[in-house]
């Protein structure tokens, strides 16, 4: 599997994962079917659309049908297995894992786009960050929740760290799918460990 194929797989994994998180929040808020679909769509592709507008590209969802196939297939599967009716503690774990996978996958995909566009370190971090947290930010604001990025453990920090590490690897000559998947595994482990240990940046008293 080459680097492009790895990015495509990561992108679709992130899309499915964020779809699940949007679905679970919509179900918890007791939205109707259309409301859940809208929330899942915004969560899954919102960050990428904001990113693409910033770099003057047509949003991928407007020209590539694969993300939409992934979103609706994930929604149908979640509905068929009645995911929202599982044990509440299990649902919390599923949400955290799905949201973490989406965060890490989209951080890397966004950062790689910044590298391909030959942006500086700030640009690479910004694209990774926006791709990863943009959809979740819109999701949380729509349901009147405080966005994760403002208070949750190491959420945005993981995104920035992965973008920096990917850029350093690229500039050091370490490229290829093994680098991408290593960073994916590292980022996911870091996010889950941070959540379990309640690690967070210092707060202002």
Q: What is the 3-state secondary structure (H, E, C) of the chain?
A: CCHHHHHHHHHHHHHHHHHHHHHHHHHHCCCCHHHHHHHHHHHHHHHHHHHHHHCCCCCHHHCCCHHHHHHHHHHHHHHHCCHHHCCHHHHHHHHHHHHHHHHHHHHHHHHHHHHHCCCCHHHHHHHHHHHHHHHHHHHHHHCCCCCHHHCCCCHHHHHHHHHHHHHHHHHCCCCCHHHHHHHHHHHHHHHHHHHHHCCCCCCCC
pLDDT at 49: 94
pLDDT at 183: 95
Distance CA 155, CA 195 (A): 9
pLDDT at 102: 92
The encoded tokens of residue 139 equal 């999701």
> What is the value of pTM for the model shown?
0.89
pLDDT at 141: 87
Q: Which residues of the chain have pLDDT under 50?
A: none
pLDDT at 65: 92
Distance CA 53, CA 62 (A): 12
Report yes or no: 47 and 130 within 8 Å, Cβ to Cβ: yes
The string of pLDDT tens digits covering residues 27-84 is 989 999 999 999 999 999 999 999 999 999 999 889 999 999 999 999 999 999 888 8
Distance CA 110, CA 171 (A): 17
């Amino acid at each position: 599997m080459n680097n492009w194929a790895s990015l495509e797989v990561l992108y679709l994994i992130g899309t499915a994962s964020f779809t699940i998180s949007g679905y679970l929040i919509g179900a918890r808020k007791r939205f109707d079917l259309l409301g859940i679909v809208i929330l899942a769509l915004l969560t899954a592709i919102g960050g990428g659309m904001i990113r693409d507008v910033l770099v003057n590209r047509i949003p991928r969802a407007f020209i590539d049908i694969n993300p939409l196939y992934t979103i609706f297939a994930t929604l149908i599967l979640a509905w068929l297995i009645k995911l929202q009716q599982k044990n509440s503690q299990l649902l919390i774990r599923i949400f955290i894992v799905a949201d973490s996978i989406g965060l890490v996958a989209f951080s890397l995909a966004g950062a790689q786009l910044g590298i391909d566009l030959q942006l500086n370190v700030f640009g690479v971090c910004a694209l990774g960050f926006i791709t990863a947290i943009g959809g979740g930010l819109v999701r949380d604001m729509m349901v009147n929740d405080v966005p994760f990025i403002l208070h949750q453990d190491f959420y945005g920090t993981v995104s920035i760290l992965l973008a920096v590490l990917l850029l350093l690897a690229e500039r050091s000559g370490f490229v290829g799918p093994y680098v991408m998947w290593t960073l994916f595994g590292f980022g996911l482990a870091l996010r889950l460990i941070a959540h379990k240990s309640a690690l967070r940046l210092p707060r202002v008293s």
